[in-house]
Every structure is written in structure tokens, then in C-alpha cells.
């Protein structure tokens, strides 16, 4: 089992929400697509992965815990269909009580969206796009599409 987080700050989410994995291998990838590609290029695609981290949402309250059921790329200005990735609902990992939602992954911090009942990150769809299929994702809503709120969270406010 490989636990993926984008930033060191997200390590505390493992302790808080997945304490049974506190001794698992943790890979801090860095934020965004290029960091995912660089970090995972030599990892076998059949490796079981749990991606845990912060995500924004247009309408979930800050502090809401979300299990991602599907990931999509967030390119609102394109008119062609983009890949959609379903995440397995396996019983081998038990997450705490969560909402279930789609995660839209973009290359930039999402500051506005008409999409509701979903979360936004910058890594998950890229992980899945590399061919990893045994991936589960748990996201904590850190902001309501506000870079200011996200930065406050990182300062421990």
C-alpha cells in the first residue's frame, strides 16, 4: 500500500483519518500533474494507492470529508469529451464516515465553478491517467474555492 499526499502538511490527515496506515509508505509528490508524473513514473501500475489530501468545493462545507467515487479532468473551456475514471469501491480499506463525490482535477487552483456536490484537486485524475487502477481517494474540503482560505489552512488557522 502506497499513501500519496501532495504536501507535507497533508501527512496529519493520515494520522487523523487513516490511523491504521500511519506506518505505511508515504510518498509526497508535490502539487500538480508534472509532480505526479515525476513521482510515479517508476511505480508499478498495479500498486495499491490511497490518495489523501485537501480539495476545494463550491458548496461542501470546509472540513467535510469526501470519498471520491469518480475523477475527471477540469478543463471547463474545452468542448470535447475528456476521460472519466471510476474509483473502485473495495472493502479492503475502511474509510471513516464520508460524503461521496466526483473529483475534478485541474492544472490550476479552481477559484469558481458551477459544479456542485464535488471537489477540486490538482493530482487525482493524473494518477489515474497514468494507468493506476487500484486507487482510493479521501479528500478533506479545505476551502470553498478560495486561495485565501486554503493558505490560512496551511498556516494552521
Domain residue limits at 73 = 2-154
**CA–CA distance from 119 to each of 20, 66, 104, 123 (Å)?**
25, 8, 6, 12
pLDDT digits (tens, 9 = 90+) for 37-69: 999 999 999 999 999 999 999 999 999 999 999
Q: How many separate domains does the chain show? A: 1
Mention every residue, 6+ apart, whose C-beta is less than 8 A from residue 127: 4, 36, 40, 49, 51, 135
CATH number for the domain including 82? Answer: 3.40.50.1580
What is the percentage of the chain residues whose pLDDT exceeds 90? 64
Amino acid at each position: 500500500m502506497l499513501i500519496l499526499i501532495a504536501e507535507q502538511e497533508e501527512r496529519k490527515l493520515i494520522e487523523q483519518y487513516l490511523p491504521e496506515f500511519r506506518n505505511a509508505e508515504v510518498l509526497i509528490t508535490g502539487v500538480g500533474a508534472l509532480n505526479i508524473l515525476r513521482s510515479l513514473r517508476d511505480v508499478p501500475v498495479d500498486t495499491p494507492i490511497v490518495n489523501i489530501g485537501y480539495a476545494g468545493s463550491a458548496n461542501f462545507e470546509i472540513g467535510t470529508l469526501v470519498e471520491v467515487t469518480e475523477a475527471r479532468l477540469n478543463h471547463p473551456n474545452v468542448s470535447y469529451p475528456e476521460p472519466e475514471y471510476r474509483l473502485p469501491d473495495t472493502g479492503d480499506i475502511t474509510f471513516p464516515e464520508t460524503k461521496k463525490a466526483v473529483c475534478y482535477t485541474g492544472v490550476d487552483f479552481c477559484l469558481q465553478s458551477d459544479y456542485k456536490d464535488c471537489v477540486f484537486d490538482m493530482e487525482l485524475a493524473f494518477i489515474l491517467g497514468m494507468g493506476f487502477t487500484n486507487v482510493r481517494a479521501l479528500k478533506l474540503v479545505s476551502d470553498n474555492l478560495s486561495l485565501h482560505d486554503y493558505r490560512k489552512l496551511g498556516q494552521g488557522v
